[in-house]
Structure 1
Amino acid sequence: MNPITIEAPRKRSLDEILARQAQERGLDPMPLETDLLLKRVKDGGHSGQFLADAFISAYRTDQPFNHSLGELIRLDAEGFRLFHEILHIRHVSRWLDSEYYEIEQQIKEVMP
């Protein structure tokens, strides 16, 4: 019987982990365009509400997203891109909770 050799796990940086995840998922996480998101939320309408609710749900994991994904067809290309960026907020390197908390607070000031 041959002895089993176990190697110590290799330490990896967050950037290495994110790069591997991106490769496995087949996508590159896109950083959130915060100024554009806030502008769209302030502009209101369906897309403003949809994007605001998407951000709050992505940031506050206990908040449900009460929209049908079929509503994506009502977004223009810019809104669709922002939605895609919102989906990635926790996968982009250098996640700063304080920054996203501030965005959440600004959204809550605007939205009913």
Structure 2
Amino acid sequence: CFQNNSHHTGGKPGDENNRTTSWESMSDCHWTERAFIDFMGYKMRTENYAITQWLVWDGAKLRPDWDQQVALELYDHTGDTGFAPAAFDDFEYVNLADLPQYASVQATLLAQLRREVERWSFS
């Protein structure tokens, strides 16, 4: 998630009684009031791809707004055994989202991601 600090008037980033005290910990959802979360990212990994969809978060309903995508990440993990210490760094450096040659893969993965997320209880 990423929290909204626009309501904060203090001198520390993110420190609106949610125990965050630095820019590095500002996106820690555990201490963030749900109304102050602006975006939520959902990531799914398959054998050959990783996809992350960032959506506007509805804090009142505790649900993502599927009609308001903020960003999209798609990475090719072909050949990733998952054993290297830098597995993510080795495969997640070229974002393939919205490239025409990956349109079919992207559409399939986004549909699968949404189906999985919508199975969760958000209350």
**After TM superposition, is the score higher than 0.5?**
no
The structure with the largest alpha-carbon Rg is 1
Higher percent of residues as helix: 1
* TM-score, length-scaled by structure 2: 0.27
Bigger relative contact order (CA 8 A; separation at least 6)? 1
